Amino acid sequence: MGMAFSIHRELGRLWSEAIYQNELAYRCQKAGLEGVAIEVPIEVSYQDFQKMFYVDLLINDAVIYELKTVQTLTGEHHQQTLTYLLLLGVQHGKLINLRPSSVEFRFVSTKLTPGKRYNYTIEDAHWLQLDEDSIWLKKLVVSLLKEWGAFLDTSLFYDAIEHFRGGKENVVKKIEVTDGARVLGTQQVHLINSETGFKVSSFVKNDKYYENHLRRFVRYTSLKAIQWINFQYDRIVFKTILR
């Protein structure tokens, strides 16, 4: 972190992530740190689906550093780094944001081993098999969990679903938002067919609050239902939100 602060002080805060990444790696190597690697690839695959992730900086196969140049760090950045930890099987990382006037940083750690990620339960008492597409969706997500385990970034599951439906253009569609006869506008929604949307989330503490808003959402559309898959750490909850 001393090096990160020095880089921020000497180079300023207006450079791209790649500039900071290269400079930090150079200084780590110059200081004698072992196993300094940048853009470390991680491949995640299932059948013919493949996604590549790249870790900004990995030290001695043990600690991840993710560099950002954003206004402020968010939960999404934390989840991204946690996903890298889990996929690499390491336990410690740090987020470093070099854009603000003062360096912003967060520790990201986990005690989860790769094996523990597969120790999850599925709750589906409130899931309705409304149509063939709903059956397909649940079957795919269950298969992905068996292959990858839980606790990973939900964007990975979205990408896989879109892939197996023939691409994002076949899944993300604009639908009308209406209040009775009055059209409020349009909004992009993930759909498995013209009548059924789906949502993949990772709400733990606020799941009831989010469910309430999903119910409000579907009420102002022509959708019959939203199939909701919520990752709550080691609990995967499948629930149907009816109109």
Residue found under tokens 């005690």? 111
In the structure, what pLDDT confidence band is assigned to residue 237 with cuts at 50, 70 and 90?
Answer: very high
Q: How far apart are the first and last CA of the chain?
A: 51
CA nearest neighbour of 109 among 80, 74, 85: 85
Mean pLDDT across the chain: 95
Distance of CA 18 to the CA centre of its chain: 22
Check whether 18 has a pLDDT greater than 90. Answer: yes
In the structure, what pLDDT confidence band is assigned to residue 155 with cuts at 50, 70 and 90?
Answer: very high
**Cβ pair 226, 133 in contact under 8 A:** no
Check whether 167 has a pLDDT greater than 90. Answer: yes
Check whether 228 has a pLDDT greater than 90. Answer: yes
pTM of the model: 0.90
In this prediction, what percent of the chain has a pLDDT beyond 70? 100
Q: At what angle do helices 154-164 and 132-148 cross, to 10 degrees?
A: 130
CA nearest neighbour of 152 among 70, 47, 74, 236: 236
The two tokens of residue 70 are 């954003």
CA nearest neighbour of 88 among 131, 59, 130, 125: 59
The type of residue at 155 is S
Q: What is the pLDDT of residue 173?
A: 97
pLDDT digits (tens, 9 = 90+) for 54-91: 999 999 999 999 999 999 999 999 999 999 999 999 99
Residue found under tokens 């679903």? 161
How far is residue 235's CA from residue 150's CA, in Å, rounded to a whole number? Answer: 9
**Dihedral of the CA atoms 223, 160, 145, 111 (nearest 10)?**
-110
Q: How far is CA 49 from CA 43, 199, 239, in A?
A: 10, 20, 26
Domains identified in the chain and CATH numbers: 2-111 (3.40.1350), 117-242 (no CATH)
Burial code (b: 16+ CB inside 10 Å, e: under 16) for 219-231 equals: eebebbbbbbbbb
